[in-house]
Structure 1
């Protein structure tokens, strides 16, 4: 890590960091301050009074939890295979997976909808969880492979000499050593899946299966929107991910830094 010793260097660094933060703080400040316009805390009371408010959070937790489990297992297995196993043409397979990063979700909505209908998944949480997982796995594999590359091969060779098979090395060597990366994956997937809007809007046809990102819809009108309440709903929706990031910040930054260095 870079270290600044002189007072002048610390002040300059603090000034640079502050200036860099301003573009990110302005929209957050505008959203929070505007959410109190008119009724003040009454806007938040209106959000909490939305019918089925707790159910919206539960549904989002189901989507986020399912996505985290699938992405974690698939990412760790793929990163282990690409990094430590002798797989024929694995680099070709790896870059084919990376090509999926160029496909935005909105382009895939039509084929995903057709697939969900054919598999009879429309109106189920799987119709949201599986596309979210599929779209995020290429990126998570990309950053996790760099982390796994940093684990010495000698550890796996020693485990193999002790009689461990491939799955034993995966569960007993890789998984314990990859805990910082696991935390980074959990935070990334939680943020992306919790904030998912398009997939739940399209695939969850039952009103009882709504997620938190759909809460602002209750305050949209035909001719005008109740903007303060919409922003209050956005603030409430963001709270779980902000809290999760604050609690796991150190582990998240450690995992991301290690995954970025090969």
Structure 2
């Protein structure tokens, strides 16, 4: 691993990292500063007084938890099959799955809306959960497959010699070794599900079904444009995600590094 040894090298690296971080830190600083304009912390009290904060928070938690569960289960099974099992044409199926990475979310909004309306899922959280999970599975499978490729095949062969089935070998031998990449997948899916905006905006019209990212729009209407309320709501919506990322940062970085190397 490369390491800065002299003070000059450390100063240059610190300067470069600081310059790279500024474009991301400045909008956050402006958001927090704007949320305190005028009434100060009274703007945050105003958000709580709307009476919808905890409803939106509950819905965001539901969407995030179920999206994580779906992505985790599908990714672990798919990556294991692509990496360790002999499946006819599996490389063709794998690259077909990766083609989904090229599909932008905005292009899929219309067919997703038609599908949700056809199956009577409009205004239901499942209409947001399933598309979010489907959009995360291809990249998560790519990361997980690279991680699985680094697990020796001898472990599976030893389990088979001991009489274990493929499912038992996967569940008892391989799956416990996937904790680093699983942590990265959980964090990536959590960020995507929590920060989702277009899908909830399109699919959830019922106020009791909306999520936390839609809370700032509560202060914007035809006759109202309360920017301090918008910024305060945005800060509140971002705090759980920032806290979760800081708590899981080391696991996320370790999992990404493990998934990037064979």
The TM-score bracket by the shorter chain reads: over 0.9
> The residue matched to 2:225 in structure 1 has which SS?
coil
CA RMSD in angstroms, aligned pairs only: 1.3
Say if 1:251 and 1:214 are closer, same or farther in 2 by CA, change over 3 A: same
1:224 Cα deviation after fit? 5.4
User: Is residue 179 from structure 1 mapped to residue 179 from structure 2 by the alignment?
Assistant: yes
1:1-262 correspondence to structure 2 within 5 Å:
1-222=1-222, 225-262=225-262
The one-character-per-residue Cα deviations of 1:18-44 (angstroms, maximum 9, x if unpaired) are 121111111111111111111111111
1:204 Cα deviation after fit? 2.0
TM-score normalised according to structure 1 size: 0.96
Distance 1:58 1:24 in 2: 28
Q: Which moved more, 1:122-131 or 1:57-66?
A: 122-131
The one-character-per-residue Cα deviations of 1:192-236 (angstroms, maximum 9, x if unpaired) are 101111111222232211110111111113255211211111111
Which ranges in structure 2 are unaligned for 5 or more consecutive residues? Answer: none
Which ranges in structure 1 are unaligned for 5 or more consecutive residues? Answer: none
Distance 2:249 2:100 in 1: 28
Distance 1:169 1:205 in 2: 46
> The residue matched to 1:37 in structure 2 has which SS?
coil
Q: How many residues align?
A: 262
> The residue matched to 1:156 in structure 2 has which SS?
helix
Distance 1:9 1:105 in 2: 42
Say if 1:206 and 1:222 are closer, same or farther in 2 by CA, change over 3 A: closer
> The residue matched to 1:238 in structure 2 has which SS?
helix
Distance 1:198 1:13 in 2: 37
TM-score normalised according to structure 2 size: 0.96
Distance 2:221 2:122 in 1: 27
Distance 1:197 1:215 in 2: 10
Q: Which moved more, 1:250-259 or 1:167-176?
A: 167-176
1:80 Cα deviation after fit? 0.5
